[in-house]
Amino acid sequence: MDLIFEARWRSLMKRLEDRFGMPMDMDSLLFLIGVQELGQGGRDFKKDEKVGLMHIAVSTLLIPYGYYRKVGLDADGWPHFERDNHLPPLKPKEQEHLIKEAALKYFEGVFAEPR
């Protein structure tokens, strides 16, 4: 286990919990990223929209790895993505690690420590 990686992950989750006043898990993190990337502000979302937000988040997180690219917005302002490359076969823990790593990179600078 990479202790530095895990400490960075716990620090990010703690900061998000403090900021939003609620416990964070992977689903809430993906929801938060999806809302941010949608750019329509906070509002009530229908169940199918919540699934769409999570897709936006995962696609956005995997863009830097070359797996997806953003192709534009639909008439309602929702981003759409195309798969550029297939993900290699990953075990569940490896998938989780990849998303955590991508999320840490996504939030770099957002919660930077003051110097």
Confirm if 105 and 64 have CB atoms less than 8 A apart.
Answer: yes
Helices assigned H by DSSP within the chain:
3-20, 26-38, 47-62, 92-107
Would you state the pLDDT for residue 109? Answer: 56
First to last CA, the chain: 29
- Mean pLDDT computed over 74-79: 94
Q: Give residue-wise pLDDT tens across range 86-105.
A: 989 999 999 999 999 999 99
pLDDT classification of 43: cutoffs 50, 70, 90? confident
Residue at 113 is within a domain: no
Tell me the average pLDDT of the chain: 91
Q: Is residue 112 part of a domain?
A: no
pLDDT of 50 > 50? The answer is yes
Query: Residue 115: its pLDDT value, please?
Result: 39
Task: Give the pLDDT of residue 41.
Answer: 83
* pLDDT score recorded for residue 114: 44
Report yes or no on 114 lying in a domain.
no
For range 46-62, the mean pLDDT:
96
DSSP state letter for 89: P
Look at the chain and report how many structural domains it folds into. 1
Q: Which domain holds residue 36?
A: 3-107
- Residue 11 forms part of a structural domain: yes
Assigned domain for 22 exists? yes
